[in-house]
Amino acid sequence: MGGVTLSEWIDVTWTIHHNLPVWPGENQPVLDQVSTVEADGVQGTRLAFGAHTGTHIDAPRHFIAGGATIDEIPLDVLIGPCLLVDHQSEGPVIEATDLEKINWDGVKRVVFRTKSAFFAMEGDFRPDYVGLGLDAAEFLVAKGVQLVGMDYLSVERFESQSDFPVHKALLGAGVVVIEGLKLKDLAPGYYELVALPLLLEGSEGSPARVLMRPLK
């Protein structure tokens, strides 16, 4: 039989575990075994973690009053061709000038691989990750991009007193954001993207399972 084989897909999702880094002020994930096969004849696990834990999707409602919630995002935004841009500068942000040399014709989804892709996703939160600058976010909106993905826990750089202008620029334009992608081993180029959140009624975000497949 023809078609795509499972081995062609790359899982770019971080495993949720007790020592996963979380945004400052958020609680660590809890995965408690409330019963075991050995003691009870069946294993059961209680889960407790925020909607923005690990690899996750931000819906517009995260910062935009009246914006779409996670259960309202169309699948045709979350599934389809995607451009992976490799940006290995030591600077803290990706600027619009870094994006101008790229051909954006027909690009509706983009993910960014930065130095943050090499951070270990365990232990303490790393505030020195790379984010998008506001001018870069506005550039992508102007180009008609519908989905933006990053390789650490936020699409914009960490600032303790931030009012999150990059989130607001993207989400306010209806752009879906994926944060916490596992991109260390991926080369730049075009991929097929599948990003599936939990179908949480009325939520502003959700953990997600995200897969990418190189397009030949």
Which of the four CATH numbers 3.40.50.720, 3.50.30.50, 3.40.50.1010, 3.60.15.10 does domain 6-15+50-214 have?
3.50.30.50
The set of catalytic residues is 62
First-residue to last-residue Cα distance in the chain: 19
Q: Mean pLDDT throughout 173-180?
A: 98
Q: Which two tokens stand for residue 112?
A: 């960014």
Beta-carbon-side half-sphere exposure of residue 142 (alpha carbons within 13 Å)? 9
DSSP lists the bridge partners of residue 85 as 112
Amino acid letter at 128? D
Is residue 200 helix, strand or coil? coil
Residue for token digits 């991929």?
A: 191
Quick one: DSSP state of residue 13? B
Q: What is the pLDDT of residues 196-214, one digit of tens each?
A: 999 999 999 999 999 999 9
Single pTM value for the model: 0.94
DSSP lists the bridge partners of residue 109 as 147
CA distances from 193 to 55, 125, 127, 136 (A): 14, 27, 27, 22
Q: What is the pLDDT of residues 76-123, one digit of tens each?
A: 999 999 999 999 998 899 999 999 999 999 999 999 999 999 999 999
At residue 138, what are phi and psi to the nearest 5 degrees?
-65, -35
Answer whether residue 5 shows pLDDT above 80. no
Other Cβ atoms less than 10 A from the Cβ of 2: the count is 4
Answer whether residue 142 shows pLDDT above 70. yes
Q: What is the pLDDT of residue 144?
A: 98
CA 156 to chain centre: 12
Alpha helices in the chain (DSSP H): 37-40, 75-78, 96-99, 134-142, 165-172
Quick one: DSSP state of residue 29? P
Q: Mean pLDDT throughout 142-164?
A: 95
Q: For the chain, which residues make up each domain, given as ranges?
A: 6-15+50-214
Contact by Cβ (8 Å): 130, 87:
yes
CA 154 to chain centre: 8
